Amino acid sequence: MNYIGEHLLPGQIGHFFAILSFMASLLATIAFFKASRKNIPADQEPWLKLGRIAFLIETISVVLLFVVLYYIISNHLFEYKYAYTHSDKSLQIEYLLSCFWEGQEGSFMLWSFWHCVLGWIIIWKGGKWESGVLYVISFAQFFIASMLIGIYFFGSKVGISPFALLRNEMDAPIFSRPEYLQFIKDGTGLNILLQNYWMVIHPPILFLGFASTIVPFAYAFAGLMKNDHSWIKPSLPWAAFSTAILGTGIMMGAAWAYESLSFGGYWAWDPVENASLVPWLTLVAGLHTNLIYKNSGYSLRPTYFFYIISFTLILYSSFLTKSGILGDTSVHAFTDLGLNAQLLLFILVFFIPAMVLYFIRYKSIPSIQKEEQTYSREFWMFIGSLVLFLSGMVIIAKTSTPVWNKLFGTKIAPPEDPEFAHNQIQIFVVVIIGLLTAITQYLKYKDTPKSVFWKKIAIPTVIALLITIPISIWGDISYVKKGPGFLAAIHLAIFTSVYSVVANISYLWLGLKGKIKAAGASVAHIGFGLVLVGILISSSKKTVLSWNTTGVTPLKVTEGEKGNAAGSPAENLTLFKNIATDMGKYMVTYTMDTTNPRDRKRYFEIDFKANNGDERFQLYPDVIKNNKGMDGFAANPASKHYWNKDIFVYVTSFQENKGSDTVSFKNREVKVKDTLFYSNGLMILNNVGVNPPAQQSKFKQDETALFLDITVISKEGKQYKIYPGIALKGQELRSIPDTVISQSLILKFNKVLDQSSGKLEIGVKESESITDLITLKVYEFPMINILWIGIVVMVVGLVMSIIQRVKLNKKTGLKTA
């Protein structure tokens, strides 16, 4: 059948370059491997040239894959499944790149692209390690390329092609018609959670971090193959680079979660978050044991192990997120596209040979038999590295529960409170690592005189205590939800984190004598300490401001029990449009809302006025309609940033009343001092006034008016004054109803039934259509900026370390790659 309107050429070009990338990466692997097995440079050169040419073809192919797929997406060629399932015509141009990494195919392409970039730096600077490192990278490229070819070998499909046609991947009656494209008006769109600027920049940085972990691994593997351990020095800047980039990528994800997700924070111990954090922990461990070996000769064996396990954990995290196994436990995971066998093979093909080679070479790896001195830097650095590794193993074990269930047929349920399940262990990791980060730099390699150590560490210790004690006493650290033991651990962790910051700042002068160029490690440790302080204070002092004071909520009690964004209805304040509501520290008013046709988001203007002082500001949280077959709306938070806190706001529900009011008034007889009941409380008629001055704006001078003075009391004890009335002019009678919007209550004064007995008739109507309302959740995050500042400082310190190591290697005549 000849299909009408299809653009087949872009897909054919893309598929060609996918196959070419696959073949070129295999050729590059073989060529670089052959070169690495030659000892004479003249024998290496032909294989190196061939490897470089193949790697160039591979790089060009990967770049052109991006170009072709971008063309398909940006031109809305919905005959291709990738464009149909990840984009639509209304998508803003700045989010077109996000379409790449919404799908697994695009994320593999991004990973492959960064391998190409890193590979060319190795070719440029690699020296004698070029071939050994490049055949490992090229072999990884071969596996990644296999994920993108989407062809059948012996009846089994290998990979998933981003250039697959929709009609070949989806079964629907319209595909039996040659003009089926006429019926496909639009794509299903980009997931609304990815329509955020952080998701344009976070995945590329994170995947650069993922990709970069292969370089220390490749150095270690090449060292094992050659039984040559001189790779330690050139790998050190790479390990620092990978630590900095992967850490930055992870925390960019935290910033995205903070700005875009409505769980009220930046870290939720989500399995996908954990899967990226654990390789970073083991990589940091490897970086420190690398330094130990370089300076003391100890810990080479652990360095090999940590670099091997870090890259393996990257592959394992890819399996967790792309296999669909986390579908029920993480909102970030991909669905299963049939790549599970390939993903498992990807892990095993790298992990098993590396570990077999590691154990074969284990005895020949240099190791000093003499025990380290307890007052030596290397001893406590190794302890810290071991703690980081064990911390990572605990996290990944908990995260892998779905894997254990699938492998062994068990039914282990995830913890009821996943945050506390991790926090109750990791809080003690923070205590240990904070303490070690503070004291270790004051120790020298090999050994340190005790008197010298205690003399230098005494001043930072006293300063840290003087800072921490006021925080503990007057800082209102009152996180008592998990008991006094956990609260005590928080206070201890705050001390060790502050200690880490103070001790490393002091070391700049006490240890380094102000030599800033050599201070990369200290600056990174200062940043790390600030991150810990920011996490501890902002999390333990996170306060709900939006306690429901109105007694009105459209949320069901059971909703809070399902772990949704609203949580407990008691923590969600109901706001009626244009009615100021007391929220403790602030009077809050929902003033207006508007829909932006460009980003299709509905923005709510929320006015905050401080109850104490003149401060006033507006915040604009928004909601956007879910796509991809999901009902309802997703909320995007808004924040007011201060130097010492954030006010964090998001909409948990909204109610707009555009429909006609079909509820009728119910007439009730009443006399002064009588009490009437309505569904949410009662009302008392206090008095009847004739032409009351307070109501004169509601009637004309030539009218005689009667107004009822009624007090409405809700079940929650809230009181409202309401004044329905009538105005009489000659034979004309005009009703003047009054409303208690927050109670959805309308009253009108109908008539006087019996003047002598004071019997009156009023109409009572309870109608949900009289107002627009929203429910709002508001948090206060104290000192959260310490966290963000700490991340920047830590990365700056790591960059300083990289520069220092590169310069040092140049001085010794050693190429850094």
pLDDT value, residue 329: 57
Q: Which helix (H) or strand (E) holds 542?
A: none
Series of mean pLDDT values for 10-residue runs along the chain (817 residues): 92 97 98 94 94 98 96 95 93 89 92 97 93 97 95 86 93 90 92 87 95 97 95 95 96 89 80 93 97 94 98 95 72 65 94 97 92 92 97 94 84 83 95 96 93 94 96 85 90 97 92 82 96 93 86 63 66 86 91 90 95 92 85 89 93 78 85 93 94 89 92 88 91 87 86 90 83 89 94 95 86 59
The pLDDT assigned to 733 comes to: 86
The pLDDT value recorded for residue 558 is 47
- Residue pair 565/774 in contact by the 8 Å Cβ criterion: no
Distance from C-alpha of 404 to C-alpha of 411, rounded to nearest angstrom:
9
Please list the residues that pair with 246 across neighbouring strands. none
Q: Which of 324, 53, 20 is nearest to 149 (CA)?
A: 20
Burial of 549 (0-12, 13-18, 19+ CB in 10 A): middle
pLDDT score for 395: 95
The pLDDT of residue 242: 97
- Residue 440: per-residue pLDDT: 95
**pLDDT tens by residue, 498-557:** 999 999 999 998 888 878 888 899 999 999 999 999 999 998 888 899 998 766 778 865
Q: How many whole angstroms separate alpha carbon 49 and alpha carbon 37?
A: 15
| Secondary element (H or E) of residue 151 | strand 151-153
User: CA-to-CA distance for 492 and 733, rounded, in angstroms?
Assistant: 74
575, 776 Cβ separation under 8 angstroms: yes
Distance separating alpha carbons of residues 105 and 159, to the nearest angstrom = 9
- The per-residue pLDDT for range 185-199, each reduced to its tens digit, is 999 999 888 888 888
111-142 in b/e form (b: 16+ CB < 10 A) is bbbbbbebbeebbebbebbbbbbbbbbbbbbb
Type of residue found at 184 = I
CA–CA distance, 303 with 18 (Å, rounded to integer): 36
List CB contacts of 344: < 8 A, sequence separation 6 or more: 319
Neighbouring residues of 386: CB distance < 8 A, sequence distance ≥ 6: 285
User: Which helix (H) or strand (E) covers residue 775, if one does?
Assistant: strand 773-782
Residue type, 421: A
> 516 and 522 in contact (C-beta within 8 Å)?
no
Residues 6+ apart with CB under 8 A from 71: 10
Task: Decide: helix, strand or coil at residue 489.
Answer: helix
Instruction: Read off the pTM.
Output: 0.86
| Cβ neighbours, 10 Å, residue 494 | 24
- DSSP label of 80: B
Res 562: pLDDT: 43
Q: What is the pLDDT of residue 732?
A: 85
pLDDT at residue number 816: 46
Given this model, what pLDDT does residue 798 score? 94
Q: 226-233: which pairs have CB atoms within 8 A and are 24 or more residues apart?
A: 226/36, 226/132, 227/361, 227/364, 229/300, 229/365, 229/366, 231/129, 232/290, 232/293, 232/294, 232/300, 232/303, 233/294, 233/809, 233/812, 233/814
At which residue do the structure tokens 């954090």 appear? 277
> Locate tokens 């047929």: which residue?
409
